[in-house]
Structure 1
């Protein structure tokens, strides 16, 4: 195969993100976002991808280019069926459709993007890269919930984890930053965006992660509650009279930071804290408390931690979040250098003090590059 370009598609219910990368050097040739699909001039995903094709063609990068080696598709949920990048066939699409109950908000849109792209370029290899795949290496002791095994197996109830492409990319980039072989490095990756997750990665292999059956479990997020006593759901239904759908909306869309203080933007919460807003301060403290709990837990899971890596919007840009999360953890070998932490930058960098046994890094994530790398490697295998 002579082509070195990969088109990465992230198809949402009403949006289509794309990037065109040249795998010869990892460079970005084009990127963009088509929004409000189903409204106005962009009637559906076919129209959206046609728009993408037109935009690329205008730059001399058309979808018909012989330089295009593959299309890489982000798919949120692969269940236990898909644990690595997969060449898309009719049978694969059918299997992904079976997983829709596990990701009803995401997988249908991902499938639509796949079908439309295959119609436009049926001759081109297309690869599904799954958010859950990186976490499929978790041992059963980490992946299993302690409920009746027959019930769990019948309904696919287990911990899958998400943000896998980010955790894979960042754990590898952290080892590169340290100048060490990936197999030698144990890393706690903290993907802190509006959605947030932590992972414990031993030698490049995920052994635990904070999200579970769905992206609701784990850290406090922008609008999601994170960890919660399951009986809260029963209480809200029995005492509060809320329906299942109402509780779902509450925990996913009206909880987390926005539920605690009415804002889910860390910059706005910080501004409010600086002005003495107590609700904003409590939201921040709850957020940090949960984050510190997971750092401690994953230190125990890994036994030896070589690096802690912060990534995504909050992780990469909010120095005060990083400082608060790791404050007074010298007993664990973690010491942040205040001046290094305060420096903003767009590249991977160390912010730990010289005497810190554990390296602390800020590593910008690149999920599109990870998807492109995995897709390109598969079609050239």
Structure 2
């Protein structure tokens, strides 16, 4: 068995997953949250081995505890106690490596990177580009390195997959000296998911990744779309921050910056108020009153006009990017949908591609509506473009990249 522990650390919580990379099966997972509050919560789940069939994980047992958790170091102590009491024991079988999700690697990190004190300094220095994420990621790294000092730790960056963007794709048309001095450019995010899905699509279809032109829609509360040519990201909807691009759960996506200038001058809104507006009070929440597509679809069924408009704006933006990326790629072989909305909302998938018949895209309504799970084709047999639903697994992708970087 080759166990790899994956850590996804936030400012007041962290998720973890232990995988056996010989079978790519999840052995255990958990969540430690409300770190720093009077009472924290720790949840640990152990998975039983399958008795037959593919090496999939089956739920065995979950235990939840409530206790004070002062900081990330204390949180890792709670996690280690859960592994020892509920299994699998990390004392008997310690991880061969620990992988860490890091949101922003700037233009410095373009591959999974062994963590050293210098790498930590760089992650900290890049926090100016992701102040809500990189400091939290770094806190998890430091706590994990203290807990597992004798194993390699690897940083896997959300931005790394998009380091293949050309200068024409990542450059903003503002004063070049100002942009360079403040590192303002398009970086892209969700790269781990886009890589996993594009690789999985090629493997599922039995076609070389290098020969495929793909469009991947990662649609969750945060949402992005990427054009991938031969396994390389050539364009992506998120930019300097995860705000740019598609309409999301609470984020506006693309907006004329002058609208914000107008709100500042005429409504007296501060920078912080504008930040809160476009990041936390916009998107589907701002348009339809909810950031949950299930609520919005239910409201549409009741005839709610606000919900109808919100859904139409959401889908309109998806179509705009689909058309743009068909042009950037010169056509597509595969279009994939992933993440919570992408995997579970047939109406979104159908709406996003409804006008792409000119490009040979044909959705099969029965396949699209089928309540299936797992990777599957939802286009017709006659469709010139294969349309897939591909469940993402960012933890597995991080584990794969971690194992590859950790091995000499």
Q: Same fold (TM over 0.5)?
A: yes
- Distance in 2, matches of 1:258 and 1:277, equals 14
1:81 to 105, 108, 121: 108
Q: Report deviation, 1:240.
A: 1.2
Worse-matched range after superposition: 114-123 or 270-279: 114-123
SS of match in other structure, 1:127: strand
The match for 2:177 among 150, 156, 175 is 150
1:124-273 superposed matches below 5 A = 124-273=151-300
Deviation at 1:35, TM superposition (A): 1.4
Assess if the C-alpha contact under 8 Å between 1:77 and 1:99 holds in 2: yes
Residue of structure 1 equivalent to 2:396: 369
Counterpart position of 1:275: 302
Aligned: 1:118 with 2:145:
yes
Aligned counterparts of 1:60 and 1:271: Cα–Cα separation in 2: 41
CA contact (8 A) 1:189 1:200 kept: yes
Runs of 4+ displaced beyond 6 Å: none
Q: Which residue of 2 aligns with 1:35?
A: 33
- Aligned twin of 1:14: 12
2:331 and 2:359 in contact (8 A); partners too: no
* Distance in 1 (alpha carbons) for counterparts of 2:79 and 2:214: 37
SS in 2 for 1:298: helix
Q: CA RMSD in A?
A: 1.0
The Cα shift of 1:64 comes to 3.4
Q: Deviations over 1:100-133 (max 9, x none)?
A: 1100000010000000111111111000000000
Preserved contact between residue 335 and residue 356 of structure 1 (Cα < 8 Å): yes
Q: What is the CA–CA distance in structure 1 between the aligned matches of 2:17 and 2:342, rounded to whole Å?
A: 23
Correspondence for 1:4: 2
Q: 2: CA distance between counterparts of 1:7 and 1:225? A: 35
The higher relative CO (CA closer than 8 Å, separation ≥ 6) is in 1
45, 50, 60: which one aligns with 2:72: 45
Unaligned regions of 5+ residues in structure 2, if any?
Answer: 40-67
Cross-structure match for 2:381: 354
Task: Could you tell me which runs of 5 or more consecutive residues in structure 1 were left unpaired when the two chains were aligned.
Answer: none
Tell me how far 1:66 sits from its aligned partner: 4.3
Deviation of 1:230 (Å): 1.1
Partner of 2:327: 300
8 Å CA contact 1:4–1:67 kept in 2: the answer is no
Deviations along 1:181-201, whole A, 9 cap, x unmatched? 110111100000000000000
Paired residue secondary structure (1:239): helix
Q: What is the DSSP-based 3-state SS (H/G/I as helix, E as strand, rest coil) of the residue aligned with 1:309?
A: strand
